[in-house]
Structure 1
Amino acid sequence: KNYYRLRFSPAVATDVKETGRNPKRVQREVRKQVQNNGIGTKSQQALKLQQEQLKTERKIVSRKQREAEKQRQFELKQQKRKEKHRGR
């Protein structure tokens, strides 16, 4: 109720002391980062990039087709409803 009356002080910067880390864990993480370079040669990386781009394009096209089909079905359903409502 009286929240707007409260006055807050500006944030105070403090030094955060880094706690000791397990050296074995650090070594494992470093090894994992060094090994995780992905595919080796430039040509393989180029092929992978091209594959990813084609994948995203396919996703976009399929999404548009799916939405168009959904819209077409909806319009067909609406038309059928109008035909039924019109009577003979």
Structure 2
Amino acid sequence: MKLTIYHNGQFWVGVIEECVDSKLTAMRFVFGTEPHDADVLDFLDRTILTLLTKPSKAVTVKTVVERVVNPKRLARIAAKEINTHGISTKAQEALRVQLEGNKQERQITSRQMKEAAQAKKREMAIHKAKQKHRGK
């Protein structure tokens, strides 16, 4: 599991990447203004569990066999990751797939609500017309 916190130009965003059985899932959390250490710790203690339990779409990735890394090389890799900004393209793809799924669900529910409102409006108009003609 990997947590990357970066500034997207407007807000601070945390991206959690989890790779299980060559399937990469990515979750996104918006911290808002610059998060303090206490905010990040609170996120790790409480909020991350709810994000990990939510169903999300996964993207298949190739697994790399990890070897023992020289400590100096490990320090260079850590410094490079600190200096780089953003998230991996596979995580971006996983987020995009998840956002598209959420968008489709939202479109379906809004369409159903709109149709129900139109049907209710039609029924009210019919009922009102019947009430007008009842006295004659």
TM range (shorter): 0.5 to 0.7
For the residue of structure 1 that corresponds to 2:101, the secondary structure is helix
Name the structure with the higher helix share: 1
Q: 1:87: how far off?
A: 1.2
Q: Does 1:49 align with 2:97?
A: yes
Name the structure with the higher strand share: 2
Q: Does 1:81 align with 2:129?
A: yes
Q: How many pairs align? A: 50
Q: Which has the larger radius of gyration?
A: 1
List runs of 5+ in structure 1 lacking aligned partners.
1-39
* Match runs of 1:1-88 below 5 Å: 41-87=89-135
More relative contact order in 1 or in 2 (CA 8 Å, sep 6+)? 2
Q: 1:58: how far off?
A: 0.6
1:13-58 Cα shifts (integer Å, max 9, x gaps)? xxxxxxxxxxxxxxxxxxxxxxxxxxx6111100000000011111
Task: Name the Cα RMSD after superposition.
Answer: 1.8
Q: 1:81: how far off?
A: 0.5
What's the TM-score, normalizing by structure 1? 0.53
List runs of 5+ in structure 2 lacking aligned partners.
1-87
Percent identical residues: 45
What's the TM-score, normalizing by structure 2? 0.35
Distance 1:78 1:50 in 2: 42
- Deviating above 2 A after TM superposition, structure 1's stretches of 4 or more consecutive aligned residues are none
Distance 2:94 2:135 in 1: 62
